[in-house]
Amino acid sequence: MNRYWRLLILLMQFVIVSSTFAQGFDTEQWMMGLEDDMLVSSLSIPGAHDAATGEGVCLFPGLGVTQTLDLRELWSCGVRAFDLRPAVRDTLLYIYHGRLRTKISFTEALDIIKVQLDSFPSEFAIVLLREESDSEDEEERALWPSLVGRSIKEMADKAAAFSPGMKLGEVRGKVIFLTRSSYIGADKGAYVSGWNHSGDGAADACITSYANGKTARLQVQDYYAPTDSKKRAAKKSVVNKYLAMAHDAPAEVWTVNFLSGYSTTWLGCTSLATTSGYKRNAEWLHSYVLERLKNDKRPVGILMMDYAGVDRVGGGLWHWKPFQVCGKEIVRAVIDCNFNSVK
């Protein structure tokens, strides 16, 4: 009798855990419910645009801040793709957004991600890299490739060797580095070419492995300045286009689709990346995408967003009411796509 009771209890625990993963509730380790043989490129992964701005910034916070949660909190809410943009300052790497320096170094950011991977070994992380060179002088720009390469090499077995058909079981507990700016001294990660910021995106960008030179096709949309009604319509259209492309592409094709952007002009004429502008863009675009995700559970690829993990953020310059950004809901909706579709 005791044996049957034990079996019944185990069965009940399995049902509860399976239900939790299927609904995306256990956001700290939601990948535990996925099969090892799933292609990484086929997964739906929520990501944070300029993820480190939630750690705080060193100058005026009314410009360039795209997150309110810090890196640990972003992980806890389910984010697994982190847009980190290191720049050299006094021979050290700090995370920037344009000329805006955040209050965290590249090493500190990677250490936070490593701790999460140690705590939740079922998971992996993607780090989207690019050199944020606006604040650098020539000497600092010359140091960037080797300093970043050294940081990735120091990750040791926590850094994944990229391959086009890499599977989930191969990368659990690791970081996949995808960089738009080449680094040297490390054979982990991959270099991305063909990325652009046009209203059409780049349907045939390329990811090239540092380990063996093998390539994968990347579909990427990163149109970031929808500052008037015509441009907002273009942003909505191209986001839709890349959602459909992610649905329809072969499983080995990678997709990165940026919801992020700023929808503000300064004094009605000059485009400026204000914090309120990012909030405004998230408010009008996230609600639309969320409804689409609720009604269509097919794969969406890597979906990068502002204000991930929070549904409401405070107002700002020229806008005193809170913004309804749906960032917590949309992260969970992206995760849920992994349990409701097969690609």
DSSP code of residue 94: E
pLDDT of residue 341: 61
pLDDT of residue 290: 97
Model pTM greater than 0.85? yes
Helices and strands (H and E) in the chain: how many:
8, 16
Rounded to an integer, the average pLDDT of 271-291 is: 89
Tell me the C-alpha distance between 44 and 119, whole Å: 22
Tell me the C-alpha distance between 87 and 107, whole Å: 12
pLDDT of residue 3: 57
User: Is residue 240's pLDDT more than 80?
Assistant: yes
pLDDT of residue 321: 84
User: Is residue 324's pLDDT more than 60?
Assistant: yes
E strand spans, the chain: 45-48, 81-84, 86-89, 92-97, 100-105, 125-129, 175-179, 190-193, 202-209, 215-221, 254-258, 265-266, 270-271, 302-305, 312-313, 323-324
pLDDT tens digit sequence for 40-85: 999 999 999 999 999 999 977 678 899 999 999 999 999 999 999 9
Tell me the C-alpha distance between 78 and 331, whole Å: 7
C-alpha to C-alpha distances, 76 to 116, 178, 205, 310, nearest whole angstrom: 9, 22, 31, 12
Question: Using 50, 70 and 90 to split pLDDT, how confident is the model at 18?
Answer: very low
pLDDT of residue 12: 43
Question: Using 50, 70 and 90 to split pLDDT, how confident is the model at 315?
Answer: confident
Question: Using 50, 70 and 90 to split pLDDT, how confident is the model at 254?
Answer: very high
With contact defined as beta carbons under 8 Å apart, do 273 and 62 qualify?
Answer: no
Q: Which amino acid is at 146?
A: S
Q: Which helix (H) or strand (E) holds 12?
A: helix 2-22
Rounded to an integer, the average pLDDT of 92-98 is: 96
pLDDT tens digit sequence for 160-175: 999 999 999 999 999 9
Question: Using 50, 70 and 90 to split pLDDT, how confident is the model at 148?
Answer: very high
Tell me the C-alpha distance between 315 and 134, whole Å: 28
DSSP-H helix ranges across 60-105 = 71-77
State the chain's mean pLDDT as an integer.
Answer: 90
Question: Using 50, 70 and 90 to split pLDDT, how confident is the model at 15?
Answer: very low
Q: Which amino acid is at 280?
A: R
pLDDT tens digit sequence for 202-217: 999 999 999 999 999 9
Q: Which amino acid is at 312?
A: R
Q: Which residues, other chains included, contact 70 with Cβ-Cβ below 8 Å and sequence gap of 6+?
A: 54, 55
User: Is residue 39's pLDDT more than 60?
Assistant: yes
Pick the closest to residue 166 from 317, 315, 313, 36 (CA basis).
36
Burial letters 281-297, b for 16+ CB under 10 A, else e:
bbbbbbeebbeebeeee
User: Is residue 269's pLDDT more than 80?
Assistant: no
User: Is residue 198's pLDDT more than 50?
Assistant: yes
pLDDT of residue 60: 75
pLDDT of residue 128: 98
